[in-house]
Amino acid sequence: MPLLTLTSDIGSPDYLVGAVKAQLLHLNPDFQIIDISHNIPPFNYPQAAYVCQSAIKNFPDFTYHLILVNLFEKKPEQLLLAFHNNQYLICADNGLLTMILEETPEIVIGIPLEKTAIKNTTYISSIMGKIVNQLVNGESIKSIGQSDVTYLEKRHLRPVLDNNSIEGQIIFIDSFENVIVNITREQFEEQRKGRSFRIVFTRNEVIDRISESYADVADGEKLALFNSAGYLEIAINKGNAAGLFGLRGFSEKARQGQLSYQTIKVYFE
Amino acid sequence: MPLLTLTSDIGSPDYLVGAVKAQLLHLNPDFQIIDISHNIPPFNYPQAAYVCQSAIKNFPDFTYHLILVNLFEKKPEQLLLAFHNNQYLICADNGLLTMILEETPEIVIGIPLEKTAIKNTTYISSIMGKIVNQLVNGESIKSIGQSDVTYLEKRHLRPVLDNNSIEGQIIFIDSFENVIVNITREQFEEQRKGRSFRIVFTRNEVIDRISESYADVADGEKLALFNSAGYLEIAINKGNAAGLFGLRGFSEKARQGQLSYQTIKVYFE
Amino acid sequence: MPLLTLTSDIGSPDYLVGAVKAQLLHLNPDFQIIDISHNIPPFNYPQAAYVCQSAIKNFPDFTYHLILVNLFEKKPEQLLLAFHNNQYLICADNGLLTMILEETPEIVIGIPLEKTAIKNTTYISSIMGKIVNQLVNGESIKSIGQSDVTYLEKRHLRPVLDNNSIEGQIIFIDSFENVIVNITREQFEEQRKGRSFRIVFTRNEVIDRISESYADVADGEKLALFNSAGYLEIAINKGNAAGLFGLRGFSEKARQGQLSYQTIKVYFE
C-alpha cells in the first residue's frame, strides 16, 4: 500500500478534501492516505513550510507527500515532483518547495500540465495521483517529466543573525497558544558559542534559560524550549502565551486596534 | 474493501464521529471510510447539498455515501437508501436527498426504523452500516426495504431565471472567502445564448468576463470563474471576496449591525 | 490490522497529528488509525474525559486507544497502559485515566520513560506505538511495565446529589449548541425514584419531561433528552440552546461582560 500524505489550505467544511481523496482512490484503491492538515491559512507560506517540513521528516522513506497549498499563486503550467532525503514531494510551482526543504532538492522534475485542461483542484490532484502511480509502477523519476526544469524558488523566512544576537520570526501559534519561532536548536547553539543568553520579546519580557518541559517552571510562568520539530517555542506553563504577550504569526494580520509583535530576539553576552 | 464516505454536521470536537466509525468497523472491519466533511453548519441544507453533490460525483462507482446531516429534522421513522448514477446514498428522510441529486433518484428504498429503538446518531449509523453490509453481501437493493416509499422531497435552492438575467444565491464560502453561487456553467451558458453579460453584486460591483484561473487578473482584483464543482465563484486574486464585498451564505444569519448580501445577479444583453 | 484510536488536544492546523501517525506507521504499517478528535480544548479535563469515555465504549473489544491529552501536565516520567472492559488505553500519568473510566481500571501498568530522552509529543507517540506492538505481538500486559504502579487519580466532575435534587455541570456543548450535562440516565432514574421532576437552569427556565427526539417539541421550543452517550442534554428544537440560554462548559472561561451559567439543577418532588 503506497503511503501518501495530504497537506492543503482547503479547510474542513469544503467538499474538496473528499473530492481529492476520491480522485486518488479512483486511480489506485490501494493508496493509504494520511492527512497532515487541511487548515493551512490562505497564502501563509511560512506556516505551510513549517507544517510540511516538520511532518515530512517523521514519515517512512519513500512516502509520497502531496501538497495542495496555494495551487493558484500563478496560472498553473506545471507541477513539481521532488525527491529529497528519501521522500517524494509533489506541489505547485509557487516557491513553497524550497521553503519546505530549505535547500536545493536532490532531484526536481517538472510535470507540464495540458494547455487546454481546466486546472482546478480536482484536476491537479488527479495529475498528482497519476505521478504517484507512475513511481509506484517502477518508472524512473526522470522519465516522468523534465529534469532541467526552471522553477520558482523562495527561501524560508530566516532569522536575522549578527555576532551577538538572533532575531527570529513567529511562524506558528499552536492550539495552546504556544509560539513557535523560526530559530532551530542548531542555529541557536551555533550562534551562542556557549555564551549566556536572554530571549527578549514584547518590549521587555525576558527568558534566560531553555527548559526541557513545560512543567520545569511553575504554573503561569513563561518558558522557552525546543519543540518536537526542533524550533524555539515560547510558552506559559498551563497558560496562553500568544494571547497574553500579544504575539502573532509573521504572516498574519493584526486585529484592529491591537498592538502585537511578530518577532523575538535572542541576545548573547 | 467496500468504500464508504461520511458527511455530517457533528463537528470536530465531538466524540460522535469516532463513535460512528466504531459502529461501522464493528459491523465490518473491511470498510474503508473516507470523511467528506463533519463541519456542515447546523440546518444549512443548501450547503449540505452542495458539499455532498460535489464530492459524490468524484467517487468510483458503487461507493456508499452515508449522510448524517439533520438526522432529527423530524422524528426519525425511516432511513432512505438511494441508488443513482451508480452511487449509493443513505440518509434521513428530511428532504436532503433530492436537494443533493437535483432530480428524482433512479431507485429509492425506505428502511423503517424499529418503533421502540432509541433513535440517536450511533443507532442510526449502525443501521446505515447494516444496510451497506447487506448490499456488499449481494442482497438486491429492493429486498432491503420498501420500494414504494413516500418520502420528503425538497428542491435545491434554484437561481431565479428570466430571459435577460439569472439571480443566484450564495451556497458556500470557502476557506479563502471565495463565494460560490448556485449557478452552474450549463445554466449560465444556456441562459446566456452567446450574449455578453454583467455579473453584478453588492450594489454596484460588476464583472463582465469569466476567468480560467485566479491569476488571470492582477493581485487584489475581483474575478469570476467556474469552480471544480461546476458552480460560479466570485473571488479576489489573493484576497478575501466574502469579507471585502459583504457577501454571506444564503442560510447564514447576518452578523449584528453588518450589511451583507446573499445573492448575485447576472444580466445578459 | 490492529485498530488504534487517537484523541488529542493538538488541533487541526498543526503538523503534529501527521507526525504522530507517521511515528505509528513507521512502527507498524498495518496499524489502522481512527481519529476520535484532535480538538480537545487545552486543559479541559472534563471534556476530554467525556469525549474519550463516550467514544471508547463503541469500539470493538481489544481496540487500542491512544490519548495524547495534556501530556505535559507534569514532567513526563511514565506513561500509563490500562486494560478495562476489554479496551486498552494508553495515556499520560495526569489523572485523566480514572476520569475516563470513572472507576479503578482492572489493570494499570506504568511504562517508565527514559530519563535522558527529550519527552516531546512525537517521542511519546512512538513509545505508545511500541507498547501497542508489544501487545499485538503477544506479550503479556504485565510484562510490559510495572504493575504495582503509583499514578495520579482524578475523579470525573460529579453531579451534586441530595435526596430531592441533582445539580449537574455542563461538560460539553456540541456543534448545534446542545448542552451536555454530567448526569447519566441511570443517576437520574436512581435519584428520581419514580417522582415527577423539574429541570431548572438559567434562573428560571424549566423543563419537566424527558423527550426521545428533538422533534418531540415544536420548532424553537426547549427540551431535555438523554443523548447517544447516555448523558442529559438540554436543547432547543432547531435552535441553539447554549447561546440562547447563556450556558457554557464548566471548564470554559466566560466571555467578557457576558453572564453565563455552568450548572443545571433537577428537583424531584
Q: Which residues of C touch A177 (CB under 8 A)?
A: 42
Of B37, B60, B214, the CB nearest to A14: B37
What was the pLDDT predicted at C251?
74
Contact B14 C172 (CB under 8 A): yes
One-character DSSP codes across A10-56: S-TTSSHHHHHHHHHHHH-TT-EEEEEES-PPTT-HHHHHHHHHHHH
- Residue C163 corresponds to which cell in the numbers above? 435526596
DSSP string, B36-58: EES-PPTT-HHHHHHHHHHHHTT
What distance in Å separates residue B25's CA from the closest CA in chain C? 8
pLDDT, one tens digit per residue, over B215-257 is 999 999 999 999 999 999 999 999 999 999 999 998 777 666 6
B32, closest residue in chain C (CA to CA): C32
Contact C15 A37 (CB under 8 A): yes
Please, which chains are in contact with A (at least 3 CB pairs closer than 8 A)? B, C
Model pLDDT for residues C196-218, shown as the tens digit of each residue? 999 999 989 999 999 999 999 99
Q: Residue B240's closest chain A neighbor by CA?
A: A42
Q: Give the count of alpha carbons within 13 A of A27, CB side only.
A: 24
Question: Which of B3, B17, B37, B212 is best to mutate for the A interface (most A CBs within 10 A)?
Answer: B37
CB contact under 8 A, B50 and A15: yes
What pairs with residue C84 in β-bridges?
C87
Q: Determine whether the interchain pair C34/B21 forms a contact, defined as Cβ–Cβ distance below 8 Å.
A: yes
Q: Are C15 and A229 inside 8 Å of each other by CB?
A: yes
> Counting one residue from A and one from B, how many pairs have CB atoms under 8 Å apart?
90
Give the C-side interface with B, CB within 8 Å.
Answer: 1, 3, 5, 7, 12, 34-41, 47, 50-52, 54-55, 58-60, 63, 172, 174-177, 212-216, 227-229, 238, 240
Structure ipTM: 0.94
Distances (CA, A) of B27 to B16, C50, C74: 17, 24, 40
pLDDT on residue C254 = 67
Cβ-nearest to A228 among C19, C42, C75 = C19
**pLDDT digit string, tens, across residues C50-60:** 999 999 999 99
Do the chains contact at C47 and B10, CB–CB below 8 Å? no
CA distance B179 to B247: 8
Sort out which chain A residues have CB atoms less than 8 A from C118's CB and list them: 212
All partners of chain B with 3 or more CB pairs under 8 angstroms: A, C
Collapse the DSSP code of B94 into the 3-class scheme (helix H, G, I; strand E, B; otherwise coil) and give the result.
coil
pLDDT averaged per 10 residues, chain A (length 269): 97 97 97 98 95 97 97 92 98 97 96 92 97 97 94 91 95 96 96 96 94 94 96 96 92 71 94
Which residue of A lies nearest to B35 if distances are taken between CA atoms? A18
Query: What pLDDT is recorded for position B250?
Result: 82
Q: How far is B18 from chain C (nearest CA, A)?
A: 4
Residues of C in Cβ contact (< 8 Å) with A36: 15, 17-18
Residues 6+ apart with CB under 8 A from C44: C249, C251, C252
Instruction: Give residue C203's pLDDT.
Output: 86
Chain B: give the shortest CA distance to residue C7, in Å: 9
Confidence of residue C250 (pLDDT cuts 50, 70, 90): confident
CB contact under 8 A, C18 and A55: yes
Average pLDDT taken over every residue of chain A: 95
Nearest Cα residue to B228 out of A92, A41, A25, A22 = A22
User: pLDDT at residue B56 above 90?
Assistant: yes
What pLDDT is recorded for position A212?
Answer: 92
Contacts of B76 in chain C (CB under 8 A): 213
Ranges B131-135, C69-73, C256-260, most confident: B131-135
pTM of the model: 0.95
Segment C177-192, tens digit of pLDDT: 999 999 999 999 999 9
The 10s digit of each residue's pLDDT in B116-129 is 888 999 999 999 99
pLDDT at B259: 77
What pLDDT does residue A105 have? Answer: 96
Chain-chain contact of B13 with C214 (C-beta, under 8 angstroms)? no
Residue A261: DSSP 8-state: B
Tens-digit pLDDT profile for residues C8-47: 999 999 999 999 999 999 999 999 999 999 999 999 999 9
Give residue C157's pLDDT: 82
The residue among B6, B14, B119 with the most chain C CBs within 10 A of its CB, best to mutate, is B14
Question: CA angle, corner A252, sides to A94 and A191, nearest 5?
Answer: 80
Cα–Cα distance measured from residue C161 to residue C106, given in angstroms and rounded to the nearest whole number: 27
Per-chain mean pLDDT for chain C? 95
pLDDT digits (tens, 9 = 90+) for A103-158: 999 999 999 999 988 899 999 999 999 999 999 999 999 999 999 899 999 988 88
Residue B157: per-residue pLDDT? 82
What is the rounded distance in angstroms from the CA atom of residue A42 to the CA atom of residue B236?
A: 12
Give the pLDDT of residue C156: 81
Segment B162-189 shows an average pLDDT of: 96
Q: Which residue of A has its CA nearest to C77?
A: A213
Check A42 against B227: CB less than 8 A apart. no
Q: Which of A14, A175, A180, A223 to mutate to test the interface with C (most CBs of C within 10 A)?
A: A175
Q: Do A15 and B55 touch (CB under 8 A)?
A: yes
pLDDT for res B256 = 65
B136 band by pLDDT with thresholds 50, 70 and 90: very high
Rounded distance between C-alpha atoms, residue C101 and residue B29, angstroms: 25
CB-based contacts of C111, cutoff 8 Å, min separation 6:
C78, C79, C80, C81, C127, C131, C144, C145, C146
Nearest CA in chain B to C230: B120
8 Å CB contact of B11 and C50 = no
Identify which of A35, A212, A228 has the shortest CB distance to residue C121. A228
Average pLDDT of the residues of chain B: 95
Chain A residue with minimal CA distance to C21?
A34
Total beta-carbon pairs less than 8 A apart between chain B and chain C = 91
CB contact (8 A) between residue A50 and residue C23: no
- Residues whose CB is less than 8 angstroms from the CB of residue B115 and which lie 6 or more positions away in sequence, other chains included: none
C118-128, pLDDT tens digit by residue? 899 999 999 99
Chain A's closest residue to C44, CA to CA, is A238
Cβ contact A37–C73 (<8 Å): no
Q: Which residue in this structure is represented by grid cell 523560526?
A: A182
Bridge partners, A200 (sequence order): A206, A265
Residue A241: phi and psi, rounded to 5, are -65, -45
A13 and B37 within 8 Å at the Cβ level: the answer is: yes
- CB nearest to A37's CB, from C13, C23, C72: C13
